Homo-oligomer: A and B are copies of this chain.
């Protein structure tokens, strides 16, 4: 088992430390290796488990050539029950490994995805989306017996219902020509130069396209995040993770696949940090109204006005404002003046500066631009 780069297993039940398990590919069974990794240490998991295809007879193309599908032993299970038990075991371990706010992706087809999704729900994962990968160039239905099976399904779920997961909404929107990224992704299957071949034959029967992983990883992780792929195969997830400046953990049971995987990772060069696609998600630090007073942008005792100067309120030292008999936050008082349940005070109130009205929201923008330090005291 002298696999270069693969870490030998620890004695007994000892678990790896982070420096040991990050940016590595392990040779071994997903379940057994996962058990050696401490809980709560992974930001995102991408899992492409066996589909349990249950193929019977060989399939021939219309020209009588034999279609080379998935004949591998690893896709064969004795029954639904056995597949379910396998699925529950690795999903349960995945859940342990995820950080509180971590998310998981699982991909499959109608052969297995319903069972996977059902078990994910039962284990407490909170499904955020199902995404359909629509193939531009699927394998046709050679016998004309069904609809052409032209898609696969991905399930994206958070560890818990309460997880405050990462979703790079603005990035994905920009990615999609400023329209919300939808749940249907049109991506070609993995072909051509990208397909890893050994001696002219495909190295792995189900290699996923890098474009798919690019979108997955970009959508829900940040640079530096730790991504686990328990069924690494030829390492598509890991290579894209590395390219995008994420850290990775791979597990692969098949030694031939693992070798492909490591060679591929050696050739993969990360993008420079400054072009990693996360800028759109860098939200400015929140500056509450009280901070404007602390930092001297507004002075206690000053007046703030409604847009048409109909209302005038006094700013108190504790960051409440008073107007007539009303006292409360800038939001609450403005809401009451307007007879509404809620209102955004930042856009309602103005102060006078050098003879003109200035929105307090504008002052807030200035405070953010000025940085964390309060302005010079007079």
For residue A146, CB closer than 8 A to chain B, the reply is: yes
- Residues on the B chain within 8 Å of A184, using CB: 132, 134, 150-151, 184
For residue A145, CB closer than 8 A to chain B, the reply is: yes
Pair A167/B145 contact, Cβ less than 8 Å: yes
- Of the candidates B113, B124, B144, B146, the one whose C-beta lies within 8 Å of that of A114 is B113
Chain A residues numbered 169-184 whose CB sits less than 8 Å from any CB in chain B: 169-170, 172-173, 180-184
Pair B124/A146 contact, Cβ less than 8 Å: no
For residue A5, CB closer than 8 A to chain B, the reply is: no
Q: Please, what's the 1-or-0 string for A157-193, where 1 marks a CB less than 8 Å from any CB in chain B? A: 0000100000101101100000011111000000000
Q: Please, what's the 1-or-0 string for A199-226, where 1 marks a CB less than 8 Å from any CB in chain B? A: 0000000000000000000010000000
Query: Which of A34-42, A263-271, A336-344, A349-357 lies on the face that meets chain B?
Result: A336-344
Nearest chain B CB to A51 CB, angstrom units: 12
How many copies the complex holds: the figure is: 2
Pair B182/A138 contact, Cβ less than 8 Å: yes
Pair A182/B128 contact, Cβ less than 8 Å: no
For residue A140, CB closer than 8 A to chain B, the reply is: yes
Pair B132/A121 contact, Cβ less than 8 Å: no
Knowing A64-B341, A117-B110, A184-B132, the reply to whether A145 touches B122 (Cβ < 8 A) is: no
For residue A366, CB closer than 8 A to chain B, the reply is: no
Ranked 9 nearest A-B pairs via Cβ: A114-B117, A150-B182, A110-B130, A118-B118, A148-B180, A144-B169, A148-B182, A114-B118, A129-B147
Report 15 cross-chain contacts, Cβ distance below 8 Å, ordered by A residue. Answer: A60-B341, A110-B130, A113-B114, A114-B115, A114-B116, A114-B121, A115-B121, A117-B118, A118-B118, A129-B146, A131-B147, A144-B173, A150-B182, A150-B183, A151-B184
